[in-house]
Structure 1
Amino acid sequence: MFHVKLPEAGTLDVPRETEARLRAYLALLQSWNARINLVAQAPEEQLWRRHILDSWQLLPLLPDGVLADLGSGGGLPGIVIAIGREQETHLVESDRRKSAFLIEASRALGLRHVTVHPARIEAARLPAIQVVTARALAPLKLLVPQAARFLAPDGIAVFPKGRSVDAELTEVAPHWFMQVERFQSRTDDQATILRLSEIRPAGA
C-alpha cells in the first residue's frame, strides 16, 4: 500500500497559482451559496479550513487514475481534488441546482478534466474508476456497495468520517470484506479518513 505524509493542520504548501485557484473556487461557492444551500454559512477563513483544507488533505492518499466523487454537492472534495490533480474526474450529483454549480465551477476554473453527471448514483454511467471519494454523504453500509459498483478490481475508496467511524465499520463488516487504513484528520481531531481497498462482498 501507499506510504504518505499528510499536511500539517492549517497549512497548505502549494504554488501561489494553485492557492489562487482554490480561493477563486471558494469565492464561487460563497456566491452561489446565497442562492442555493451548498455549505453552512460561516466566515471565509472558517470555510477555508473546514472545507478547502479538509478536502485538500485527501490528495496524498489518492492513487493515480480516474476518480469519481459521489454525491459531490458543492464540489467537496471533488472540485478541490480536481484542482490538485489534473486527472480524469467524475462528479456525481443528483440535485440539478448543485450539478449546475459544479458545471459552472469546472468551466470557470478551467477544469477540463472534470465531467459532471447530473444523476442519482445508482443511475450514473461511469468508466472503470480507480478511486472513489465521498464526503458527508452516507454511512459506510450505503457507501461501500455504491463504491464497489464503480471501482476497478484494484481500486480504492477514500471516505472522511466523524465520531461514528467505529460503529459504521462494525455495521458494514458482516457484509463486506475490505482492507481498512485509518488516517487522523489534520483539520478535525474528531475525524478520521478511511482508505478502503480490496473491497468485495463477504464470502465472495
Structure 2
Amino acid sequence: MSIREQMRQRLCAGLAKLDIELPNSVIGQQLDYLELLIRWNASYNLTAVRDPLEMVTRHLLDSLAVLPFVRGSSLADLGTGAGIPGIPLALARPDLEVHLVDSNGKKARFLREAVRQLKLEQARVIEGRVEAVSGRFDCITARAFASLADMLDWGGHLLAPGGRWLALKGKFPQDELDHLPTGFRLAEVHEIKVPGLDAERHLLVLERLPEPA
C-alpha cells in the first residue's frame, strides 16, 4: 500500500470519528497539501513533525476538529506557521475567506506556494506581525503561540462584533482565563478528542463584549 493511501485511510478514519464529512475531492486536496509540506519541510524546516502519518493526525485532524465551530464568512489564522489550521479549514470551507498571517518569511513563501498550487482563491497570505494587520473577521483561529492575554492584546482588534475567537489550547488554561483583557469573555469550552492524538485538547470560544452605549 502506498504511503498516500495509508495517509488517506488514516484521514478518513479520523474524520469518521469526528463525525465530519468531506467530499473525496477535498480529501485529495488535504493530502496534496501534506505532500507539498513534506517536500518543503526537507529544506525549510517548517514543522518538527516528520512522519507523514503523524502529520495526518497532528496537522489535518487536529485542524479539522475545529471545523464545526467555525462561523461566518471570514477567518484570520494568526501565527499560522505552515498553514495550521488555516489551510485545512480553507480546503474544507471553499466559501470561507481565509487570511493566513505569519511574520516568518520562509513560512510565508511556503504559504503563497501552497495557496497557488491548491488553487485556494479565497485565501490570502499576510506576511507580518499580528498587531500590524488590519480588518475585521467573523472568526479568528490561533494555535497556542502565546498566552490568551497576549493574543488578544495583539490581535483582538481583528475580531468583528459578534465574532468568535477560537483559541486552541492543550490543558485547560484557567490561569490565562483569569487574566483575560477587558472587553472579552469566555463563551464556550469544548474538550476535543483528536483521533490518534493522546493529548489534551481544549477549544476556547471567546467573544468580544458589546461596547458601552
- TM-score > 0.5 by shorter chain: yes
Instruction: Please tell me whether residue 14 in structure 1 is matched to residue 22 in structure 2.
Output: yes
* Number of aligned residue pairs: 195
Instruction: Please tell me whether residue 157 in structure 1 is matched to residue 165 in structure 2.
Output: yes
Contact 1:70 1:132 in 2 (8 A): yes
Question: What does the per-residue CA deviation read over 1:124-166, in whole Å, with 9 as the maximum and x for residues that have no partner?
Answer: 23x3211111113111011122332111111110011012522
> Comparing both structures, which one devotes a greater share of its residues to helix?
2
Instruction: Please tell me whether residue 186 in structure 1 is matched to residue 196 in structure 2.
Output: no
Pair 1:28–1:136, CA change in 2 (3 A) = farther
How far, CA to CA, are the matches of 1:74 and 1:9 in structure 2? 25
User: 1:195: which partner in 2?
Assistant: 205
> What is the percentage of aligned positions where both structures have the same residue?
34
Q: Greater shift after overlay, 16-25 or 188-197?
A: 188-197
Question: What does the per-residue CA deviation read over 1:70-114, in whole Å, with 9 as the maximum and x for residues that have no partner?
Answer: 111100001111101122111111111100100000100010000
Contact 2:22 2:92 in 1 (8 A): no
Matches within 5 A, 1:95-134: 95-125=104-134, 127-134=135-142
Matches within 5 A, 1:1-204: 9=17, 13-86=21-94, 87-125=96-134, 127-163=135-171, 165-172=173-180, 175-187=182-194, 188=197, 189-199=199-209
Pair 1:11–1:35, CA change in 2 (3 A) = farther
Partner AA of 2:36 in structure 1: L
Contact 2:186 2:206 in 1 (8 A): yes
Q: Greater shift after overlay, 31-40 or 99-108?
A: 31-40
Specify the SS of the correspondent of 1:33.
Answer: helix
How far, CA to CA, are the matches of 2:32 and 2:186 in structure 1? 37
Contact 2:184 2:206 in 1 (8 A): no
Q: TM-score, normalised by structure 2?
A: 0.83
Contact 1:36 1:97 in 2 (8 A): yes
Q: Aligned-residue CA RMSD in angstroms?
A: 2.2
Q: TM-score, normalised by structure 1?
A: 0.87
Report the Cα offset of residue 12 of structure 1: 5.3
Report the Cα offset of residue 14 of structure 1: 1.6
Specify the SS of the correspondent of 1:111.
Answer: coil
